[in-house]
Amino acid sequence: MKVLITGSSGQIGTNLALTLQEKGHYVFGIDVRSNTWTNSIPTLLQDLSTPAHNFKGGIGHVDYPPDLDIVVHLAAHAKVHELVQQPIRALANITMTFNVLEFCRTNNLPILFSSSREVYGDIHRYITEESYADFAFTESPYSASKIAGEALIYSYAQCYGLRYLVFRFSNVYGRYDNDIERMERVIPLFIRKIKNREPLTIYGKEKILDFTYVDDCVDGIIRGMETLLTGRESNQTINLAFGQGNSLTTMAEFVGEAVGIRPEIRYEDARIGEVTHYVANIGKARALLDYSPTTPLREGIHKAVAWNDEWELNHNVRIVVE
């Protein structure tokens, strides 16, 4: 396969690109920033949120590699609370998706789109079968941007014959996610704070989320790419997660166990715009893709801590413990 990945410098993009390369596939990445973890992924630095008008061979008069097979669109501003504070970033997400769709339409390419559990909102907390997402219960500008992205994709399929798969991800964690100065993620943040013996703040004591180890996520994406390109399935929207809920308290305790330090936890109310309960129904992924995630949270946390320890050792990162 010849694969174009937008957002190739992010966590999922980095893991996906490296795995595809290991399998012998060609990968070309596009991102607004350089990859801080590896230089193995050929990457074009381009801001896809800039409005464009030319899409033949690339976006905005920029040439991409010829003879691509598929586009995996991962690029997005992905912090829910940040987009509540800066809603203009939601518009940037929509513009990115429009530009990528126009590129796919013009060059007759299928697309795999990264959506989110956020499209279900909080009101459907116990009903997560794919057809139950409802824009009337949009919780935040981020979820609105993902709903808008899905709507654009469905319209392009209807009007232009676009072939697609939409994956709704849920709290992906694991390797290449510890750049929390750029993008604060809860598991690497908790790893760092517990190592520093700093107290943790959990927003929403009863919050239950479905954490997905990155290897399971990447496996599902590649299964989807192969399914789409072989024509076995197309134009489907699929939950891609582990399928089991855990509280943030349980997650923090697993981190403490892996680090060897008991965490000090403080609780505050859930923040505006954040989903407080989500457990994915992954029956469709199992049926269509033979997807079967293998890494439960406790095991995944230990893997994540081990990777983080190795990365810090290799990069001379010092954790200051008072």
Question: What domains can you pick out in the chain, each with its CATH number?
Answer: 2-172+212-240 (3.40.50.720), 175-210+243-314 (3.90.25.10)
How far is 119 from 214, CA to CA, in rounded Å? 20
Whether 80 and 125 have beta carbons less than 8 Å apart is answered as: no
Q: What is the CA radius of gyration of the chain?
A: 19
Q: What is the pLDDT of residues 223-232, one digit of tens each?
A: 999 999 999 9
Integer CA distances (angstroms), 269 to 120, 203, 273, in order: 21, 5, 12
User: Which stretches of the chain drop beneath a pLDDT of 70?
Assistant: 118-119, 121-137, 273, 317-322
The C-alpha atoms of residue 320 and residue 322 are separated, in whole angstroms, by 6
Q: Do 223 and 20 meet the contact criterion of CB atoms below 8 Å apart? A: no
Strand spans (E) along the chain: 2-6, 26-31, 43-45, 70-73, 111-116, 164-169, 172-173, 200-203, 208-209, 212-213, 236-240, 246-247, 265-268
Q: In whole angstroms, give the CA distance from residue 197 to residue 183.
A: 21
User: Do 202 and 266 contact (CB within 8 A), yes or no?
Assistant: yes
Write down the pLDDT at residue 204: 86
What pLDDT score does 250 carry? Answer: 96
214-230 and 11-22 helices cross at what angle (nearest 10)?
A: 60
Residues in the chain: 322
**Antiparallel, parallel or unpaired: β 111-116 and 164-169:** parallel
| Phi-psi sector, 28: left (phi>0), alpha (psi -120 to 50), beta | beta
Q: 3-15: per-residue pLDDT in tens? A: 999 999 999 999 9
Helix 88-107 to helix 141-160 angle (10° resolution) is 20
Q: Are strands 111-116 and 70-73 parallel, antiparallel or unpaired?
A: parallel
Q: What is residue 322's predicted lDDT score, i.e. its pLDDT?
A: 42
Q: Model confidence over 190-212: pLDDT tens digits? A: 999 999 999 999 998 888 999 99
| Residue 179: per-residue pLDDT | 84
Max Cα-Cα span within the chain:
61
Could you tell me which of 130, 131, 147 has the C-alpha nearest to residue 139? 147
Write down the pLDDT at residue 17.
98
